[in-house]
Amino acid sequence: MKDILYVGVNDHDIDLFEGQYTVPNGMSYNSYVIMDEKIAVLDTVDARKGDEWLANLAGALGTRTPDYLVVHHMEPDHSANIARFLALYSAAVVVASDKAFGMMQKFFGDSYESRRIVVKEGDRLALGTHTLTFYTAPMVHWPEVIVSYDEYSRTLFSADGFGKFGALDHEEEWACEARRYYFGIVGKFGMQVQKLLAKAAALQIDAICPLHGPVLTENLGYYLDLYNTWSSYGVESEGIVIAYTSVYGHTKEAVLYLASELEKRGQKVTLNDLARCDMAEAVEDAFRYGKLVLATTTYNGDIFPFMREFIEELLERNYQKKTVGIIENGSWNPMAAKRMRAMLEGAKELTFLEKDVTIHAALTDANREELTRLAEALI
C-alpha cells in the first residue's frame, strides 16, 4: 500500500540482542506510518538509532505532522524514542494499552495523561480510509502488548509476533532466524500465541508487519502454519537432535557412533556440542525436531554445567511433546541420567526411552550394542 510507509532502521552495530542472542546479520527495528486524513506513526525504535529513525520519519511526513503515535509494545528496542517523538511533535496523541502507559511512567517519568488514548480489545482508531482495530496480546511476549489490524489494506501490525533476527538489507531464508527468535524470546508463551492466532484466523490478512524482520506479503499460510506448530509445541521437522557435552572425548565418541547408526538407517541427525555451539541454536533444534538425545558426563556428582544450562533453557520455554533418550558417562558413580530425568520431571508430555545408556569412562563393545539398540528405539 502506497499510503503505509516503512520508516524503520537497520542495526549492524549490535553484538548481542537482548544482551544474549548473537545476531551476525544485525537487527531491524521496524516502524510504520499510515498516511491518511489523520496520520498514525506505529512504534519507535531503539535509542541508539533514534536520530536515523526521526530522519526517516521526517522524510516520510514531508510538510505534514503526525496525529497519533501507536505503541504496540513497550520493550525499549521499540519504545525508547517515545519521549523524543512527543517533544518534537507536540500535538500528537499516544495510543496504547493501559499497561503500556504504566510502563511509560516507569521509563520516562510521564504517563501522558493529557495526550493519550487508552485502547482495549476491539477498540478502533479511525484515520480516514484506514481504521485500526486493536486486539490485546498479553504475554506475546510482554503483558502490555497489543496488535492492530487495518481492514482497508488487510494489514496486521503484529508487534513482536512473526519477527526474526537479521537486518532487512541482508537477504536470508526466513524460517531459521525467525525460529531462533521465536523460541528464544516468545517460546515460553505458546498458549498466549495460540490465543492471538485464533483472533488472527477471523481476519482477512494480506500483509503482516512485524516489529523485527521483513514485511510478509506472500504465502502467509506458510508463516501462520509455522507459528501454529511452534506455539503448540508440535513437531516441525522429522529428525533427531543429539545435544551433548564431552570432557575427554569418550562421550563424544558415543554420540558420533549413535549418529552413524541413525544415519545408516536413513535418519536426519543434528549434533550440538553444548560447550561450543550457539545455545540458542541448540534450543531451536530441540523444539524443531520430535526426538532429542541428551548425552553428558557426571560432574561434581551432578551433570556438566552446559547440559544443565541447556535443560534449564528448555524448561524455561515449556519444552514438551517430545521423545527423549539419555546417555550418561561416569567413571565411578554415574549420576547424570538420574539428574537429567529429575530436571525434566516437570515437563509436559515427554516420552522417555526406557533404557538409558551408561558409559563407565571409555566406550566398550557392550556400549556400542546398547547405542545400536538406542538408535532402533529412536526410530
pLDDT score recorded for residue 346: 85
The closest of 286, 276, 280 to 233, measured between CA atoms, is 286
SS3 call for 349: coil
Are 205 and 225 in a shared domain?
yes
Are 193 and 310 in a shared domain?
no
Are 62 and 176 in a shared domain?
yes
pLDDT score recorded for residue 2: 86
Are 222 and 274 in a shared domain?
no
Cell 535443560 found at? 311
Are 212 and 158 in a shared domain?
yes
- 4 DSSP β-pair partners: 34
Domain count, the chain: 2
Are 169 and 37 in a shared domain?
yes
Q: How many H helices and E strands in the chain?
A: 12, 22
- Please enumerate, as own/partner, the contacts of 256-265 that have beta carbons within 8 Å and a separation of 24 or more: 257/363, 257/368, 257/371, 258/293, 258/295, 258/327, 258/371, 258/374, 258/375, 261/371, 261/372, 261/375, 262/375, 262/378, 262/379, 265/375, 265/376, 265/379
The closest of 25, 19, 21 to 10, measured between CA atoms, is 25
Could you say which of 194, 210, 231 is where a domain stops? 231
Is there a contact between 148 and 136 (Cβ–Cβ < 8 Å)? Answer: no
Beta strand extents in 7-109 (DSSP E only) = 9-11, 16-17, 21-22, 27-29, 32-34, 40-42, 68-70, 93-96
- Residue 276's domain comprises 237-378
**Dihedral sign, Cα of residue 216, residue 214, residue 137, residue 189:** positive
- Beta-carbon contacts of residue 212 (< 8 Å; ≥ 6 apart): 27, 28, 29, 30, 160, 163, 164, 165, 181
Could you say which of 178, 202, 231 is where a domain stops? 231
Could you say which of 215, 231, 247 is where a domain stops? 231
* Residues present in the chain in total: 379
Are 81 and 207 in a shared domain?
yes
Are 204 and 277 in a shared domain?
no
Are 91 and 148 in a shared domain?
yes
pTM of the model: 0.93
Is there a contact between 79 and 41 (Cβ–Cβ < 8 Å)? Answer: no
Rounded Cα–Cα distance for residues 192 and 93 (Å): 29
- Count of alpha carbons within 13 Å of 243, Cβ hemisphere only? 29
What's the Cα-to-Cα distance from 373 to each of 156, 228, 355, rounded to whole Å?
50, 34, 9
Is there a contact between 24 and 169 (Cβ–Cβ < 8 Å)? Answer: no
Are 132 and 219 in a shared domain?
yes
Are 195 and 274 in a shared domain?
no
pLDDT values of the chain reduced to their tens digit, one per residue, 379 residues: 689 999 999 999 999 999 999 999 999 999 999 999 999 999 999 999 999 999 999 999 999 999 999 999 999 999 999 999 999 999 999 999 999 999 999 999 999 999 999 999 999 999 999 999 999 999 999 999 999 999 999 999 999 999 999 999 999 999 999 999 999 999 999 999 999 999 999 999 999 999 999 999 999 999 999 999 999 999 999 999 999 999 999 999 999 999 999 999 999 999 999 999 999 999 999 999 999 999 999 999 999 999 999 999 999 999 999 999 999 999 999 999 999 999 999 899 999 999 999 999 999 999 999 999 999 999 9
Are 223 and 242 in a shared domain?
no
Rounded Cα–Cα distance for residues 133 and 107 (Å): 26
Rounded Cα–Cα distance for residues 78 and 48 (Å): 11
At 326, which CATH number? Answer: 3.40.50.360
| Backbone Cα Rg of the chain | 24
At 23, which CATH number? Answer: 3.60.15.10
Is there a contact between 177 and 210 (Cβ–Cβ < 8 Å)? Answer: no
